[in-house]
Every structure is written in C-alpha cells, then in structure tokens.
Amino acid sequence: MMGGHHAASGAAAWVAVTASTPIAFGWYPVSDASVFTGALVCAGAALLPDADHHSGTIANSLKPVSNVVVKGIEAISGGHRKGTHSILGIAVFTAIAWALSFLSIDTGTEEFGAILIGPGIMCVLLVAFALKALKITRDTKIFPWTMSVTLAVLIAIFAPEEWYWMPFSVALGCIVHVLGDLITTAGVPLLWPLKFRSPYWMRNKRGIELDWMWRTGGNLSVPIIGDAGSVREWILLVPISLYAIVGIVWALLNQMGYDTMAVWYQVVALFPG
Ligand SMILES: [Zn+2]
C-alpha cells in the first residue's frame, strides 16, 4: 500500500476507535483534543513499519534524525518488509513507545513540573512521517521540524495528560499498516523471523484450498486490492480518507464548543425510517 494511504487508514482507525461520535465505535475513548492530535500521531505510526528502507519517503521526512532512525531499524529488522511487518515487529514498536512514555525531565519549576519528553520525541518523529506521506511537507529541511515540534510542544503544554495514549496509538498504527500490506499481492511476513510453507492440509485438495495465501519467502497475502497502488486501492481509500477527515473535523468542532449533535440529529431526520 502507498504511504499516503497507510497514513489515511491510520488516522481513520484512530477516529473509529477513539471518537465518541455516532460514526465511531468509541472502544478506547479519548478527549476531543486527543481525537484530532492522536489521528495525526496514529497516521505517522501507520508509516512506522516502512521506516525499514533507507531510500524510502520516511527516511527523508525529518533530516537528519529520520535517516539515522531508519538506518537503525533497517539493520535490526533485516531490511524492507521483513521484521517491521510482523507480529513481533508490532510488539517491539509498541514496547519502545511504552518504555519512552516514562522518559521525563523535571524542570524544577512549579509551573511546568516534569515534562514527558519521551512521548514528545515520538510525537515529533511520527508527525513528521505523517506530514511527509500526506505530501504536506516536501523536501525542505526546516519546515518539517517547525511543524512537528510545534505540534508536540502544543500537546505537551496544553494537554500533557493526553500522552497516555501514545503506546496504544503506535500499536494501532502498526497493526493497520501490516493489515494494509497484507491485502496486497506481495503480502507480509507475519510470523517473521519464522518462515512457514503452507500447512499440508491447505495444499491437500480434499482440505480447504488456502495455498494461494502463501507467497514465496514465507509471506502471507490476502490480495483483495492486488498490487500496491492499484485502482482498487485508490477506490478503497477514498471513503476511508473521507471518514478520517469527517471524524477529525467533528472532534475539532466539538473542541471549539459547537453543538455538533444537534446538526447530527437534523441530518438523521432527513432519512426517515
Ligand atoms: Zn509496508
């Protein structure tokens, strides 16, 4: 799946799971401010598994820090679409986010107290990923820094208690990414570093014919959208992107004090039955 589409599906998943509006599930409810800030962070987290390729879009999103991070991830994970696209990879990314959520510095002042710099650093990096993939920032050196640092500082100052969702956001984003690549022809090595052939009963003609799910090199694939960047991928991503935008705007309007539910009831009343 293409970078922008991974980002959009990450934002959409965040809205679906965290918003308490009638168009969302609200399984992991967060404040309205966290619905729209978290959507951007989760969009970035949904690009994290592709930070395994030194010449990819992500590598140049926040120079020179992103280049160093990506080189490290590439070396550890065994290269592109290997370790980062597995259950183990998702667990490791989530564990890192969880560990970083304890990293804080005490400012020694009454006003600011202890500042959580761990989640702040993650936020800067993930937001830079998202902005780059959504083509909001191009190859400029300063703009990605100012944008993502400003956002991280705003969250840190105005809603420091909001950071608790950072590990969850990283987990959700990575899961959405791996699912997004699972439905392409190339598939993902879900059980990396283990490599499996298809189980015998799947190849056995008398059993269920599921052998098509196994790609060379042990990748699993359920190629609903075909090759990455296909027309089917675009068709699927239009409603998903629209959903994310509606969810984010809705949370923003709530935050600004608009009575969005009154509007919702009026819209619902237009469809009798
Ligand atoms: Zn990928």
Is pLDDT at 172 greater than 80 in this prediction? yes
Compute the distance from residue 177 Cα to the ligand 1 centre, in Å: 6
Compute the distance from residue 143 Cα to the ligand 1 centre, in Å: 25
Is pLDDT at 208 greater than 60 in this prediction? no
Q: What is the mean pLDDT of the chain?
A: 88
pLDDT digits (tens, 9 = 90+) for 67-78: 999 999 999 999
pLDDT digits (tens, 9 = 90+) for 4-20: 999 999 999 999 999 99
**Angle (CA) 45 41 138, round 5°:** 85
Compute the distance from residue 142 Cα to the ligand 1 centre, in Å: 27
> pLDDT value at position 215?
75
Contact between 47 and 177 under an 8 Å Cβ cutoff? The reply is yes
Compute the distance from residue 140 Cα to the ligand 1 centre, in Å: 24
Compute the distance from residue 73 Cα to the ligand 1 centre, in Å: 13
Is there a cis peptide before residue 64, judged by omega within 30 degrees of 0? yes
For residue 99, the enclosing domain spans 3-269
CA distances from 81 to 106, 186, 231, 251 (A): 39, 9, 22, 34
Compute the distance from residue 45 Cα to the ligand 1 centre, in Å: 12
CA distances from 228 to 146, 186, 233, 265 (A): 32, 8, 7, 39
pLDDT digits (tens, 9 = 90+) for 111-164: 767 778 888 889 999 999 999 998 887 666 788 888 888 888 877 776 667 788
Compute the distance from residue 1 Cα to the ligand 1 centre, in Å: 7
* Residue 178 burial by Cβ neighbours in a 10 Å radius (0-12, 13-18, 19+): buried
Compute the distance from residue 223 Cα to the ligand 1 centre, in Å: 14
pLDDT digits (tens, 9 = 90+) for 34-93: 998 999 999 999 999 999 988 888 898 898 999 999 999 999 999 888 999 999 999 999
Write the DSSP string, 172-194.
Answer: HHHHHHHHHHHTSSS-B-TTTT-
> What spatial distance separates the first Cα and last Cα of the chain, rounded to whole Å?
39
> pLDDT value at position 76?
93
Compute the distance from residue 188 Cα to the ligand 1 centre, in Å: 8
Pair of tokens at residue 193: 């570093």
Q: Which of helix, strand or coil describes residue 119?
A: helix
Specify the DSSP class assigned to residue 197.
P
Compute the distance from residue 173 Cα to the ligand 1 centre, in Å: 12
> What is the count of structural domains for the chain?
1
Compute the distance from residue 210 Cα to the ligand 1 centre, in Å: 23
Compute the distance from residue 85 Cα to the ligand 1 centre, in Å: 7
